[in-house]
Amino acid sequence: MAYMHIGKDFVPPDVNGKVTGRIKYAEDYTREGMVYARLLTSPIPHARVVNIDASEALAMDGVFGLLTADDVYPDGEPQSTGLKVLTNEPTLVGEPILALAAIDEKTAETAISKISVTFERLPFVLDPLDSLAEGGPDAYNGGNTYVFRQGFASEKWSADQVASFRAGNEPTAEPQQTFAYGDLDAALAESAFVYESAFTTAGYPHQSMEPRSAMAYWENGKLYLHGTSQSLSALADGMASIVGVPQEDFVFINEATGGGFGQRARANSIPSMAIPAKLSQKINRPVMMRVTRDEETAIGGARQGFQGWIKCGFKADGTMAAADLYIISDNGGKGGGGDAYSAADCISILYQTEAVRFRGTSIGSNTGHRGAQRGPGQNQIAAIIAPILDKAAEELGIDRLKIRQINTPQNGDIGGASRTPFTSAYMPEALKMGAEQFNLEERMARSRKRNGSKVTGIGIGQGYHNAGRSGMDGIVRLTADGRLKVHNGVGNLGTYSYASTSRAAAEVLQMPWERVDIVTGRTDRNLPITSPQDGSNSIFTNTRTNYGAAMDLLGKMKEIAAMELGGDAADYDIGDERVFKAAAPSEGMTFAEIAQKGISLGGKFTGESDLPEELNDFTKISVSRLAGDSLMGIYHDAPHNNNPPGFTVTFTEIEMDVETGKYDIVDMVTIGDCGTVVHPQGLKNQLVGGAVWGIGLAGYERHLYDPQNGLPASTGYWQSKIPTMMDTPAKIKTGWVDLPDPENPVGARGIGEPAMGAVAAALASAISDSLEGHLFNAAPVTADMIINHVAGVTSEAVPLAQNNFRG
């Protein structure tokens, strides 16, 4: 289909501000009379605040006030594992206890040093399996796990059960959560090759580049909050209720966000932004709260680590007949997530497994806050399953690409725990395209070849994420000067989806891009509600809403033309910013004339009546404020059926130095199947950015805690081992299938998360290949693990250890 905008590169309006330094992030703002908040955070991993004596601090010159959990939660703190604004019951080092505002940060720090907080120390635990063992410490006050709608609970196994699991055996205890389909026993019995092992994947922090600093002030009863967010309007909706201010009195300002990978998507993943809001209300001054890298590391979120057991059966023809998983997922000191369930779901989808059983239990540890991180669950398991697939191929005498082709999801398939059909799926095409671009056949000849201390490893990986929600709203407007305004509530976290999804509306109206204004950046510009910008959602979700709103606008424009020029709306067409009679193109009106007429007509044309019934309350407020002064298109997107998948495949070649355990990634080709490509440069950035994350997951990233005192040893970028330019290939080759999805009006589906999983899988596969097919059953596989393996040294690490060194 020939599009005017879809599939074409453009310059998103914020890029100039990014290269000149002019665009403002939350901490770049100042306000007359602004004072500074500093945090007192928990120095111990699990405690109860017994007393706070701030009298000396509050008596200091330049100190304006204090905010504690008692101020925030006068009726008591919510009893859940969720991150709190402030707490008297810290369950991780670095959790905010109180905030103090002063004339400057130095005074605030000095004042905080004069506050005496009496903590009651409580037992802490760093490894979920230590908590699971009978008599082991619990991370929370009330248990070591949290059961939805029931509250805290204590999950315990016998010491023998834990020891058996650590020794690599199938766990025998009753799990918290399960799903299953197919006849697992029969599938295993039919299998010609069965692989069984325990495995671990590490937890590690998000480390967005911009710390979650925020500034707030109140003016005429309204709260203005400068913050950071992946999901502008969705986050604002939740933040208003955390602060306790009516939505109509809350203005969230967020032109740019310095990276978001899951823990700035929803208000409850970043409740710290309520601190300056509440403090500002209390002391009646603008408050800036700058967050340090240490603080960001503690509360900025971390991926759930897995302590798992997997058993996979493959038939002689390579079909993956069975997958049986049991996973203990680490809920950390706060938060949690559904990573384990998603991991099993992902295997079912990527390999169309005939019988799957998942068993899982989530257990807390007094370590960093956990929550969704780029491909939560799908991406951890991608790095574990890829080398298992290679092993099966080797044992069954099947080509490594072939075994993936045999099991590939494709159009018409169903998958996952819910056995939901795909909206479309072009993994076979992606595998073929990638193999050709990578020249796989020729490279395979080099696999495992040694040259001095260097051994070549070839890897193939696949990634998946469910990539598209629906049910959100859209607002577009045609103003009296004939310009198109697309109100977009998607956050600006660096994907440019706020701009690329707006192009669906421009496409409907065949509007030149320079005649389109994207209205975004702050909620008082009156934005529609969107889905939180997580789960690779935005492209699918918000092209639907913007397209729908533009179609509503187009219908109204044709109706106005028919009223003015006669005939029926269906007789009209558009082009060159005119609405004209299809049979007599010279008879028509300009977009500006149509808009002016619509404004004079009012009512449904200007958003004053006949709104879609299901419109969300957040959107209704925006529409009511905009009503009357422009011709409006308003749309509520009805929920769609079926699963719009995002798929990625990656091929890579590494050169492993078996003397150092370090490797160079010599080449990498990564191909996306994400429907029609909306914005090629944006897609390329998601693919290469996801690749860097995948390299981190498979090879580097983890966090460490001191087992004696529970203190974090990883408090920044360096110790978290996030990949630098030198850890990643000098060039990553990208490509895409570019076939349309039928349930999206422009054919698009998401990609951000699978882009990471495929690379993690490919790198794990290549590392294994370079070491004669050795399976570490771990992510990351670090240099010390590699040289220990090569040297035949048994690791001294506790088997399946979490939040610490692993063997």
Q: Which of 260, 337, 409, 457 binds other proteins (CB under 8 A)?
A: 260
Q: How far is the CB of 18 from ligand FES (least distance, A)?
A: 8
Q: What is d(CA 278, CA 217) in angstroms, rounded to the nearest whole number?
A: 9
Contact 297, 207 (CB under 8 A): yes
Which residue lies nearer to ligand FES by CB, 470 or 492?
492
Q: How far is the CB of 14 from other proteins (least distance, A)?
A: 7
What's the Rg (C-alpha) of the chain? 27
Q: What is d(CA 239, CA 233) in angstroms, rounded to the nearest whole number?
A: 10
Residues 187-226 that bind ligand FES (CB under 6 A): 209
Q: What is d(CA 105, CA 359) in angstroms, rounded to the nearest whole number?
A: 49
Q: Which does 445 bind (CB under 5 to 8 A by kind): other proteins, ligand FES, none?
A: none
Residues 108-137 that bind other proteins (CB under 8 A): 109
Q: How far is the CB of 37 from other proteins (least distance, A)?
A: 12
Residues 410, 411, 416: CA angle, nearest 5 degrees: 65
One character per residue 487-526, x = contact with ligand FES (rule: CB under 6 A):
-------x--------------------------------
Q: What is d(CA 671, CA 379) in angstroms, rounded to the nearest whole number?
A: 16
Query: Which of 70-78, 490-498, 518-526, 791-799 is the region at the interface with other proteins (rule: CB under 8 A)?
Result: 490-498
Q: Which does 348 bind (CB under 5 to 8 A by kind): other proteins, ligand FES, none?
A: none
Number of residues counted as binding ligand FES (CB under 6 A): 3
> Nearest to residue 635, comparing CAs of 528, 548, 543?
548
**Under the criterion CB under 8 A, does residue 593 sit at the interface with other proteins?**
no
One character per residue 291-310, x = contact with other proteins (rule: CB under 8 A):
-xxx----------------
DSSP letter assigned to residue 726:
G
**Under the criterion CB under 6 A, does residue 15 sit at the interface with ligand FES?**
no
Contact 201, 384 (CB under 8 A): yes
Q: Which of 164, 510, 681, 795 binds other proteins (CB under 8 A)?
A: 681
Which residue lies nearer to ligand FES by CB, 259 or 628?
259
Q: Which of 43, 62, 168, 259 binds ligand FES (CB under 6 A)?
A: 259
Which residue lies nearer to ligand FES by CB, 494 or 598?
494
Neighbouring CB atoms inside 10 A of 105's CB total 15
Contact 762, 781 (CB under 8 A): no
Q: How far is the CB of 55 from other proteins (least distance, A)?
A: 21
H or E, element range at 579: strand 578-581
Q: Identify residue 527 by its one-letter amino acid code.
A: L
One character per residue 56-85, x = contact with other proteins (rule: CB under 8 A):
------x-----------------------
Q: How many helices (H) and strands (E) does the chain have?
A: 24, 31
Query: Which of 189-197, 323-331, 686-694, 771-779 is the region at the interface with other proteins (rule: CB under 8 A)?
Result: 686-694
H or E, element range at 391: helix 378-396
Q: How far is the CB of 499 from other proteins (least distance, A)?
A: 11
Query: Which of 13-21, 437-445, 459-467, 475-483 is the region at the interface with other proteins (rule: CB under 8 A)?
Result: 13-21
Q: Which of 5, 226, 278, 290 binds other proteins (CB under 8 A)?
A: 290
Q: How far is the CB of 703 from other proteins (least distance, A)?
A: 15
Q: How far is the CB of 429 from other proteins (least distance, A)?
A: 23
Q: What is d(CA 312, CA 694) in angstroms, rounded to the nearest whole number?
A: 23
Q: How far is the CB of 543 from ligand FES (least distance, A)?
A: 23
Q: Which of 33, 135, 412, 718 binds other proteins (CB under 8 A)?
A: 718
Contact 84, 99 (CB under 8 A): no
Q: What is d(CA 114, CA 53) in angstroms, rounded to the nearest whole number?
A: 9
Residues listed for the chain = 807
Q: How far is the CB of 542 from other proteins (least distance, A)?
A: 18
Q: Which does 777 bind (CB under 5 to 8 A by kind): ligand FES, other proteins, none?
A: none
Q: Which residues of 412-450 are buried (b: 16+ CB within 10 A; e: fewer)?
A: eeebbbeeeebbbbbbbbbbbbbbeebebeebbeebeee
Q: How far is the CB of 690 from other proteins (least distance, A)?
A: 7
Q: How far is the CB of 494 from ligand FES (least distance, A)?
A: 5
3-state secondary structure 238-253: HHHHHHCCCHHHEEEE
| Torsion sign over Cα 687, 692, 697, 699 | positive
Q: How far is the CB of 209 from ligand FES (least distance, A)?
A: 4
**Under the criterion CB under 6 A, does residue 716 sit at the interface with ligand FES?**
no
3-state secondary structure 737-797: CCCCCCCCCCCECCCCCHHHHHHHHHHHHHHHHHCCCCCCCEECCCHHHHHHHHHCCCCCC
Name the residues that contact other proteins, by CB under 8 A.
9, 11-12, 14-25, 27-28, 36, 38, 62, 103-107, 109, 207-211, 256-261, 290, 292-294, 493-496, 681-682, 684-685, 688-693, 716-718, 722-726, 728-732
Residues binding ligand FES (CB under 6 A): 209, 259, 494
